[in-house]
């Protein structure tokens, strides 16, 4: 009975959709998604889960080789520290909570700065991971006859695989922990307002003096719709589509759609 009640409660939760409004936020969301996925699969510990965890790790490395993400995250941490420091002497502020938040941001900044510029070199130099990455470009290319060493590792005891994968993730943890905190702060900075989309269409133009980074759309539970969003930090448009199942194409809703719009800086 308790499990059924929990399932029913979950089904009644509002659906939340997010749209990044700049490339940095898009990358943050992808890295956070992949890191959470890697942690989840590694904890399960089966050979198939270890494969999925390694795939997530390789996807993260592919993103991190495109630019200096560490510097971008450090800049964002510094920006939030400066912004939050301005609140310390304002009336009505929970100073204990603010100090705890500032302390956490300083810790994350120190940990990320302390890893140095060559923090990913050991992962990049790994012939084991490089071989898996190379063969992953081929459909089914990581079978046991293609990569016998990978197959051998996947059949090691669970604790051994979890421990070795955790060592790889430890190198990424300072960056990913900082990104998770930045995403939380961005969402907390959101300003919510109730909106309606006539005929399932809604357009919004942002104030250029307010650098919004993330758009969040909350839909009532059980509404059977999802938003298709496009745009940038200047303007955004969205269509609300009706879900008709896997065998049919979704169609644009033609009625008035109520939703909550949350713009996050």
- Residue-wise pLDDT tens digits, 103-155: 999 999 999 999 988 889 999 999 999 999 999 999 999 999 999 999 999 99
Residue 76 pLDDT: 95
Whether 174 contacts 112, CB under 8 Å = yes
Residue 12 pLDDT: 63
pTM attached to this predicted model:
0.91
- Residue-wise pLDDT tens digits, 201-247: 999 999 888 889 999 999 999 899 999 999 888 899 999 999 999 99
Q: Map out the domains of the chain with their CATH numbers.
A: 22-188 (1.10.3900.10), 190-264 (2.60.440.10)
**Residue 6 scores a pLDDT above 50:** no
What average pLDDT is seen over the chain?
92
Whether 191 contacts 263, CB under 8 Å = yes
Rounded distance, CA 89 to CA 86, Å? 7
Whether 42 contacts 49, CB under 8 Å = yes
Residue 95 pLDDT: 86
Secondary structure of the chain as H, E, C letters: CHHHHHHHHHHCCCEEEEEECCHHHHHHHHHHHHHHHHHHHHHHCCHHHHHHHHHHHHHHHHHHCCCCHHHHHHHHHHHHHHHHHCCCCCCCCCHHHHHHHHHHHHHHHHHHHHCCCCCCHHHHCCHHHHHHHHHHCCCCCCCCCCCHHHHHHHCCCHHHHHHHHHHHHHHHHHHHHHHHHHHHHHHHCCEEEEEEEHHHEEEEECCCCCCCCEEEEEECCCCCEEEEEEECCCEEEEEEEECCCCCCCCEECCCCEEEEEEEEC
- Higher per-residue pLDDT: 41 or 45: 41
């Amino acid at each position: 009975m308790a499990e059924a009640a929990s399932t029913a409660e979950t089904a009644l939760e509002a659906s939340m959709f997010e749209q990044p409004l700049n490339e940095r936020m898009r990358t943050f969301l992808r890295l956070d998604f992949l890191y959470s996925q890697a942690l989840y699969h590694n904890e399960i510990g089966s050979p198939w889960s270890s494969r999925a965890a390694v795939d997530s790790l390789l996807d993260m490395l592919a993103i991190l080789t495109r630019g200096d993400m560490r510097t971008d995250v450090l800049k964002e941490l510094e920006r939030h520290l400066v912004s939050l420091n301005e609140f310390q002497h304002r009336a009505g502020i929970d100073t204990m909570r603010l100090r705890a938040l500032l302390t956490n941001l300083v810790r994350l900044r120190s940990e990320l700065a302390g890893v140095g510029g060559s923090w990913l070199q050991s992962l990049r130099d790994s012939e084991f991971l490089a071989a898996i990455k190379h063969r992953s470009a081929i459909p089914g290319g990581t079978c046991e006859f293609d990569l016998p060493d990978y197959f051998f590792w996947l059949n090691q005891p669970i604790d051994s695989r979890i421990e070795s994968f955790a060592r790889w993730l430890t190198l990424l943890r300072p960056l990913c922990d900082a990104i998770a905190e930045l995403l939380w702060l961005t969402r907390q900075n959101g300003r919510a307002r109730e909106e309606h989309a006539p005929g399932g269409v809604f357009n919004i133009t942002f104030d250029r003096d307010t650098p919004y980074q993330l758009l969040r759309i909350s839909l009532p539970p059980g509404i059977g719709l999802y938003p298709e969003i496009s745009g940038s930090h200047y303007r955004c448009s969205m269509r609300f589509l009706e879900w008709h199942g896997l065998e049919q194409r979704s169609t644009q809703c033609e009625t008035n759609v109520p939703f909550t719009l949350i713009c996050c800086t």
